[in-house]
Structure 1
Amino acid sequence: MREVLRSAIAEAFHEAGIAMRAKDYQTAYRWLERSHILTQRMPLAHAKSHWFMLNLGLLTKDWREVVGQVPRIIAALLFSRIWVPAGNTGRARVSAFSVMPLSAGLEELLRED
């Protein structure tokens, strides 16, 4: 994995953790969505992004998010290397099969050289 991508993933998880501890849940979700997009092809890191979303759902008492993340964690572990919907933010409010547009910045990070 390219170092730039590795750094972007670490930053996303780090910033999400800071936002969660500060109870800035909207910001935490934005960072976790970013981590999800960046890790979709990496089973363990992909599952980690869903695990954090599940925990954030518990913190906010968003039961739809909690229930929706459980199958996504399993799917991340089993299918990340086979197929993922590019740009999908990973939230329970979004179909797990929806392809979503990528920003130019994310597209650049995900480009394989």
Structure 2
Amino acid sequence: MKEVLRHAITEAFHEAGLAMRAHDFQAAYRWIERAHILTQRMPLAHAKSHWLMLSLGLLTKDWREVAGQLSRIIAALLFSRIWVPVGNTGRARVSAFAAMPLSADLEELLRED
């Protein structure tokens, strides 16, 4: 894995944790979504992003998010290396099968050289 990608993933998870502790749930979701996109091909880290979304769902009493993340955690562990919808933010309010456009910085981080 490229060092710059590893750093971006670490930063996204770290910032998500800070935002969660500060109860800035919108910022936490943005950082976790970023982590999700960056880790889609890494089963354990991908599942971690879904676990954090589930945790945020519990904190905010968003039961749709909680329910949606349960199946996504399992799917992340089983299918991350086979197929993922590139750019998908991982939230329960979007189809788990929908590809989404990438920002320029995420596209650069995910480019395989």
Alignment of 1:15-30 (within 5 A): 15-30=15-30
TM-score in terms of structure 2 length: 1.00
Could you tell me which amino acid in structure 2 is paired with residue 95 of structure 1? S
Number of matched residues? 113
Runs of 4+ with >2 A deviation: none
Paired residue type of 1:81: R
The 1-side partners of 2:108 and 2:60 are apart by: 33
Which ranges in structure 2 are unaligned for 5 or more consecutive residues?
Answer: none
Instruction: State the TM-score, normalized to the length of structure 1.
Output: 1.00
SS of structure 2 residue aligned to 1:68: helix
Per the alignment, residue 90 of structure 1 pairs with 90
Distance 1:29 1:100 in 2: 16
Shift of 1:41: 0.2
Percent of aligned pairs with the same residue? 84
Tell me the alpha carbon deviations over residues 72-107 of structure 1, each in whole angstroms, 9 at most, x when there is no partner.
000000000000000000000000000000001000
Equivalents in 2 of 1:111, 1:65: separation in Å? Answer: 30
Deviation at 1:15, TM superposition (A): 0.2
In 2, Cα distance between equivalents of 1:26 and 1:109:
23
Say what the alpha-carbon RMSD is for the aligned residues: 0.3
Q: Which runs of 5+ in 1 are unaligned?
A: none
1:10-41 Cα distance to aligned partner (Å, 9 max, x none): 00000000000000000000000000000000
Distance in 2 (alpha carbons) for counterparts of 1:78 and 1:9: 20
